[in-house]
């Protein structure tokens, strides 16, 4: 039985997304529940998030940012030493294996497996995979997957995709769906006459259609509206809050009471209390669907991704999911799911024979990437120096 003394968990925690932050907290609970004496370090993608971890002795290390090259080099060295000393490295959970948001999203997370020392275990846990739109992502993934001793995904869509690239995934429930979240404030203590909405700015979404559907429902049922933004609204990432504000403006014009809540801005206790006390909900965000269903709140799910569709298909309610273009056409309908399956960490398996090949692939691709950026940096320095020289010659 594996009994790791040092564990490093790597994911999108700290990047400003409620679902990713909650995944990290729940995952740490499971890790320390199995190995209470382990030294656990969480790699942060950004700032410390507002949820409370169960233990005060968990360590945190922020991913280095190249704002200061000397400090960046020093922090990268520390990160390599930290991961290299670990007995167990976990990548996940959440939708890390996709390239919708960035062409380099897949290598941004999987590259850390190349830092594992011989004898250490590398696990992918609670992962969502797809879509993969770019040839480079598919090329990288096929060569990186053998580096993992265990691959655990949260739905059959993800499992099928990884099998296409040579992976051997096991399917489990989403980490949040299978964990207790009451300690984080998601506890139902009262029911208010309010419709909760957690939407996501997405191509094809018609704000006017959503506003019409919401307005019709709340006027017919004498309800107020609460809009929940699941991501920090920072410059360059205000799409969800802007969408909610647009809908709120339309609804208020028609005399409907609307309250807006934003994760990272609204105090977390206030956010959770308002979220947990709605009577019904419309949800696009994956973990908004999960949390409202865990609380026993009927949800009208609107899909924008296979992960939302899979949640209801695997829960036996495939017809419950609405598409974006169906909003405002028919009356809203609400469904409940039973999310009673507990999350389990993977069991220990012997390292696969191809793992050394996977690590070698990752190491070579990482080295090639570093060489590419060094060439880019050298070219930029050369051009800057040439430009400076020409300006000085011009002045003389």
The token duo for 319 is: 């017809």
The residues near 231 (Cβ < 8 Å, ≥ 6 apart) are 16, 17, 18, 237, 240, 263, 264
Residue with tokens 């996940």: 92
Instruction: Please tell me whether residue 238 adopts helix, strand or coil conformation.
Output: coil
Specify the 3-state DSSP secondary structure of 272.
Answer: helix
Contact 169, 162 (CB under 8 A): yes
Q: CB 95: neighbour CB atoms within 10 A? A: 24
DSSP 183: G
Pairwise CA distance, residues 66 & 118, whole Å: 29
Each residue's pLDDT expressed in tens, for the chain with a length of 396 residues: 468 999 999 999 998 999 999 999 999 999 999 999 999 999 998 876 778 899 999 999 999 988 888 999 999 999 999 999 999 999 999 999 999 888 899 999 999 999 999 999 999 999 999 999 999 999 999 999 999 999 999 999 999 999 999 999 999 999 999 999 999 999 999 999 999 999 999 999 999 999 999 999 999 999 999 999 999 877 778 999 999 999 999 999 999 999 999 999 999 999 999 999 999 999 999 999 999 999 999 999 999 999 999 999 999 999 999 999 988 777 899 999 999 899 999 987 655 444 555 555 555 555 545 444 444 445 555 455 555 444 544 554
Torsion over CA of 26, 28, 33 and 39, rounded to 10 degrees?
A: -170
Domains of the chain, earliest start first:
6-175 (3.40.50.11930), 182-326 (3.40.50.2000)
Give the CA count within 13 Å in the CB-facing half-sphere of 91. Answer: 28
Phi first, then psi: give them for residue 359, nearest 5 degrees. Answer: -65, -40
């Amino acid at each position: 039985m594996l009994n790791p003394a040092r564990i490093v968990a790597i994911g999108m925690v700290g990047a400003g997304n409620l679902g990713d932050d909650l995944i990290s907290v729940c995952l740490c609970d499971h890790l320390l529940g199995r190995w209470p004496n382990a030294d656990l370090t969480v790699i942060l993608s950004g700032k410390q998030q507002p949820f409370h971890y169960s233990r005060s002795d968990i360590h945190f290390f922020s991913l280095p940012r190249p704002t200061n090259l000397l400090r960046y080099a020093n922090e990268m060295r520390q990160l390599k030493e930290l991961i290299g000393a670990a007995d167990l490295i976990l990548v996940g959970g959440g939708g890390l294996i996709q390239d919708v948001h960035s062409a380099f999203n897949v290598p941004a997370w999987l590259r850390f497996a190349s830092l594992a020392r011989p004898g250490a275990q590398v696990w992918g846990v609670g992962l969502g995979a797809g879509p993969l739109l770019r040839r480079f992502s598919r090329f990288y993934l096929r060569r990186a997957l053998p580096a993992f001793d265990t691959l655990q995904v949260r739905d059959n869509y993800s499992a099928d995709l990884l099998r296409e690239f040579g992976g051997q995934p096991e399917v489990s429930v989403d980490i949040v769906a299978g964990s207790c979240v009451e300690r984080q404030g998601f506890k139902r203590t009262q029911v208010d006459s309010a419709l909760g909405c957690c939407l996501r700015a997405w191509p094809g979404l018609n704000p006017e259609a959503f506003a019409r559907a919401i307005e019709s429902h709340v006027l017919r049922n004498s309800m107020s509206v609460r809009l929940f933004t699941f991501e920090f609204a920072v410059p360059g990432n205000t799409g969800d809050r802007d969408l909610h504000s647009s809908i709120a403006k339309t609804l208020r014009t028609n005399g409907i009471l609307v309250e807006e809540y934003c994760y990272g801005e609204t105090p977390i206790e206030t956010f959770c209390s308002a979220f947990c006390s709605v009577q019904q909900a419309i949800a696009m965000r994956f973990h908004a669907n999960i949390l409202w269903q865990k609380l026993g709140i009927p949800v009208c799910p609107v899909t924008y991704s296979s992960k939302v569709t899979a949640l209801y298909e695997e829960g036996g309610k495939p017809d419950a999911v609405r598409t974006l273009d169906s909003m405002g056409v028919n009356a809203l309908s609400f469904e409940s799911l039973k999310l009673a399956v507990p999350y389990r960490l993977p069991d220990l398996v012997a390292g696969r024979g191809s793992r050394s090949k996977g690590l070698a692939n990752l190491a070579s691709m990482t080295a090639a990437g570093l060489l590419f950026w060094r060439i880019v940096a050298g070219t930029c320095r050369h051009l800057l120096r040439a430009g400076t020289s020409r300006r000085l010659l011009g002045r003389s």
